[in-house]
Amino acid sequence: MAEKEIAAGQVKELRTKTGAGMMDCKRALQECSGDFEQAVKALREKGLASAKKRQEKTADQGIIESYIHLGRQIGALVELNCETDFVARNEQFGELAHFIALQIAAVNPKYLDRESVPTELIESEKAIYRAKAEAEGKPEKVLDRIVDGMLDKFFQEWCLLEQPFIKDPSVSVGELVTQTAAKLGEKVQVRRFERFQVGERTEEE
């Protein structure tokens, strides 16, 4: 049975209502065959919707985690924040920071999330995808859907929180953060990250 096509507006509305991530919302709507209220219920049962209540809180505690790959040619730094020093010292919180640093070193994301991607880059990518679909003779009525699908793949490749988690591709890094936040009962967020590779040139260079 094919998955029900989910409109971007539905996903956005569900995200606004629950505070859950875009991919969480899309998956919930697909699993619930587009039934909005059932999707809300499903997200709440998974503990993802509760994240919205914590978004207003200040997460100014946390840790900076590093990962150096075997051979010492690639390394990553990530700042993972939480609300209290108690949670910052929690083993599960530290493990999450380690996994995220490992993800950064292995997959090399360029942005934290889709909101961090420059608007001009998004518009450029959309134009490329539309031109490609038109060149392939795709019907006009499905072009927007095709472009949205290709843009989702772009975000999943380049945005850390959208990327499939390397140790369990069935969940995204963002979902992993949300799940950990639900277990710890605090706001947890990735604030910033950096990846280093020997011989790699910087933008200034």
Q: Which is nearest to 58 in space by CA: 191, 194, 176? A: 191
Q: What does the pLDDT read at residue 28?
A: 87
Q: Using the CB atoms, write b or e for 27-44: b if 16+ within 10 Å.
A: bbbeebeeeeeebbebbe
Residue 106 exposure: Cα atoms within 13 Å on the Cβ side? 11
Q: What does the pLDDT read at residue 1?
A: 37
Query: Does the predicted model carry a pTM greater than 0.75?
Result: no
Residues of the chain with pLDDT under 70: 1-4, 19, 47-57, 202-205
d(C-alpha 106, C-alpha 102), whole Å = 6
Structure token pair of residue 91: 């083993």
What fold does the segment set 1-49 form as a domain?
Helicase, Ruva Protein; domain 3 (1.10.8)
d(C-alpha 134, C-alpha 151), whole Å = 16
Structure token pair of residue 181: 């936040």
Q: What does the pLDDT read at residue 48?
A: 60
Q: What does the pLDDT read at residue 93?
A: 96
d(C-alpha 56, C-alpha 119), whole Å = 26
Is beta strand 164-165 parallel, antiparallel or unpaired with respect to 74-82?
A: unpaired
Is beta strand 61-68 parallel, antiparallel or unpaired with respect to 74-82?
A: antiparallel
Q: What does the pLDDT read at residue 44?
A: 73
Q: What does the pLDDT read at residue 179?
A: 87
Q: Which is nearest to 162 in space by CA: 146, 178, 147? A: 178
Q: What does the pLDDT read at residue 55?
A: 58
d(C-alpha 45, C-alpha 51), whole Å = 12
Domain parsing of the chain, residue ranges: 1-49, 118-155
Cβ(179)–Cβ(171) under 8 Å? yes
Cβ(113)–Cβ(161) under 8 Å? yes
Cβ(132)–Cβ(146) under 8 Å? no
Query: 118-155: which CATH architecture?
Result: Orthogonal Bundle (1.10)
Report how far apart the first and last C-alpha atoms of the chain are (Å, whole number).
52
Q: What does the pLDDT read at residue 140?
A: 84
